[in-house]
Structure 1
């Protein structure tokens, strides 16, 4: 990684955070190909099935801002490890004790609580250990874990369920790996000190983050980008099974294509955005992403579906993520160096609200219309809205706009 300016020690930290995302995404996405199975077991409507995933994200989202504030106050590493252990034990409970719809909701929600601190803590560590000129590529390396976890979770759960005729063992194994990973993180991850750690532990005021217009539009665009993503990922396996006649083994693999095709482009786009700017790339990604989401539902042949999924992996949420993280990080640090954790908490809160809303809205649309196609078209329109919002974001933070010596190309 010499050409990027990232040293070996920093690279190890980024790989550890990447592994953290890999496990958390595998934990959550392993459920999606099994939603139709769980629905049959408990006689659930589509809206109720969507509520299972939304229970995770409702708690996850609710904890984003508190997690960011706590990370600023007590330290990213400590909070990350403790919450990661909670996530592991909640998933273990899901595998061992979730024998009713209510318990499914309960353990899923507790798992969301445990997973909620990873985003602000992980990117808080990344943004403080990687030079600001390499934030795009640094975020892209960490984000690779999302793609890897998406691939693993979606690819293994369907085939393993068919082989063992039970889904409990899948979550028990993932839970054990998650708990063990927390212990490894305790040894590998650096302690990132606050710049004023010797002084008061007062967190950066949340109201200042909310008043920043650039951060506001970045956060709203993040919601739009993730709305389409969670529509496709949570309901994609069910859509392909029920409306395109694809088997449960292949339905998850089809959606996992998004993760596979996103790996290289996210790294490349993150690096390009470090050199040439965030805004012009983002303005291309959103409309292209909307087209690919539309084609996922419009396509009828397997080849066309696969091509649309590959295209979405290239131009969709995974390529926008490193741009958004680096962009939000630069605007936050322009306000105050200690605003990072709170800003990242608000940023992820905004984006992950889509994960609460999209599964339920999609399930509701299916209950009303009898098909998921309309839900995909709605998601495409939301992506277009995201592109409109990007137009209002300043390329550079206002504090840096007047000085070439201090300015960093975004």
Structure 2
């Protein structure tokens, strides 16, 4: 039956989730910009910078399936509240880091705190929206991360320029705690899960999720896409400053252009997925990956800042198209009672990419005497993986029943 929530409550839940994702994005990308002054203050090499960034993703990845399973079991509200408070406190602590090792420790704990939010927010969508609206709802959440990137890069760069990186982290942490108070008062998804009276549905375990081929395909696809997302997020600010000779504020302003176009691509993806691409989602994954591959090749050889922005914009649009489709498919084809567990598995692939990409790219940059070309070719290779696996996806609906997860060839 349809999700029992009215339009007003849907809007409230969506607004709060988007606010959470924006703050989440602020806190997550802050380190990518702050490492520029941090590396100077602590004397860090490119490899050490990569380790600082990747330490977050290691714990963040571990928490994805755990957070999803907890949200399936206890509901999204409790898990989200814990995550929001924990990551806000750890953001404040990042601002008092005094060494390379303290940064590693705080970022690792920060990943534990923030890691449950993505999967739990997926459960909130299932608790609030019917299947035919979930692609658009998910695209709005993903768009909010782009908004966070657009605003955050410029605001964070400006805050660091005027007040230093330590003060910036403290302010962001307190912003998260204020949002937690708002969540405590207003965030309460009360919709019933999308179940039928004819079938008693059992939540699938993480072990059962690992047996579903479609989830493995989506996990690998998301891994490849996320290599690009996290690799670019970690090293693009440094590339723009060190290679393209931009100051911090100019870098933040120009970086917002590809993010804005990626945001538009995400919103378009959600609309077209709900309206026209039911059962044909894989073609958007393939098309988006192909756009990213071609654009990344031209980006490497961009002759000027203008072309860097143009090709970077096409990369963002292609990746956004593939990413939105990949993360929407569990919402449409996994039974609502098991969305947290299933999406936790898919998110795990993406966050493992976050562990690998920043450190490996940092190592490549250091090995090639400051050249970023090898790192960008690595990103192309990752998109090729997503493209090839996307070609193998079949149109499937995953249904949780009394025994386990079954796969049928009919799309609901």
Q: TM-score, normalised by structure 2?
A: 0.90
Counterpart in the other structure of 1:182: 180
Computed over aligned residues only, the root mean square deviation of the Cα atoms, in angstroms, reads: 2.2
Deviates more, 1:254-263 or 1:174-183: 254-263
1:31 is paired with a residue of what secondary structure? helix
Counterpart in the other structure of 1:274: 274
Q: Structure 1 CA distance, aligned partners of 2:252 and 2:52?
A: 18
Deviates more, 1:288-297 or 1:361-370: 288-297
Q: Structure 1 CA distance, aligned partners of 2:189 and 2:132?
A: 21
Are the counterparts in 1 of residues 266 and 324 from structure 2 also a CA contact under 8 Å? Answer: yes
Are the counterparts in 1 of residues 258 and 309 from structure 2 also a CA contact under 8 Å? Answer: no
Deviates more, 1:274-283 or 1:14-23: 274-283
Are the counterparts in 2 of residues 77 and 191 from structure 1 also a CA contact under 8 Å? Answer: yes
Q: TM-score, normalised by structure 1?
A: 0.90
Counterpart in the other structure of 1:17: 17
Matches within 5 A, 1:5-404: 7-95=7-95, 97-164=96-163, 166-192=164-190, 204-277=204-277, 278-316=281-319, 318-333=320-335, 337-370=336-369, 371-397=371-397
Cα pair distance change 1:402/1:302, threshold 3 Å: closer
Q: Structure 1 CA distance, aligned partners of 2:159 and 2:11?
A: 33
Q: Structure 2 CA distance, aligned partners of 1:296 and 1:175?
A: 35
Are the counterparts in 2 of residues 134 and 271 from structure 1 also a CA contact under 8 Å? Answer: no
Counterpart in the other structure of 1:199: none
What displacement does 1:151 show? Answer: 1.6
Q: Structure 2 CA distance, aligned partners of 1:212 and 1:205?
A: 11
Q: Structure 2 CA distance, aligned partners of 1:6 and 1:184?
A: 20
What displacement does 1:131 show? Answer: 1.2
What displacement does 1:117 show? Answer: 0.7
CA displacement, residues 326-365 of structure 1 (integer Å, 9 cap, x when unaligned):
21223322xxx42211111111111111111000000010
Deviates more, 1:293-302 or 1:223-232: 293-302
Are the counterparts in 2 of residues 92 and 172 from structure 1 also a CA contact under 8 Å? Answer: yes
What displacement does 1:181 show? Answer: 0.8
Unmatched 5+ residue regions in structure 2?
196-201, 400-406
Q: Structure 2 CA distance, aligned partners of 1:268 and 1:205?
A: 33
Deviates more, 1:213-222 or 1:6-15: 6-15
Q: Structure 2 CA distance, aligned partners of 1:319 and 1:306?
A: 18
Are the counterparts in 2 of residues 86 and 111 from structure 1 also a CA contact under 8 Å? Answer: yes
Cα pair distance change 1:273/1:191, threshold 3 Å: closer
What displacement does 1:180 show? Answer: 1.1
CA displacement, residues 150-176 of structure 1 (integer Å, 9 cap, x when unaligned):
122211222222222x21111111111
Aligned positions, number = 392
Unmatched 5+ residue regions in structure 1?
197-201
Counterpart in the other structure of 2:199: none
Are the counterparts in 1 of residues 285 and 323 from structure 2 also a CA contact under 8 Å? Answer: no
Are the counterparts in 1 of residues 135 and 271 from structure 2 also a CA contact under 8 Å? Answer: yes
What displacement does 1:401 show? Answer: 5.1
What displacement does 1:398 show? Answer: 6.1
What displacement does 1:115 show? Answer: 0.7
Q: Structure 2 CA distance, aligned partners of 1:286 and 1:190?
A: 37
What displacement does 1:276 show? Answer: 2.0
Are the counterparts in 2 of residues 30 and 156 from structure 1 also a CA contact under 8 Å? Answer: no
What displacement does 1:195 show? Answer: 7.6
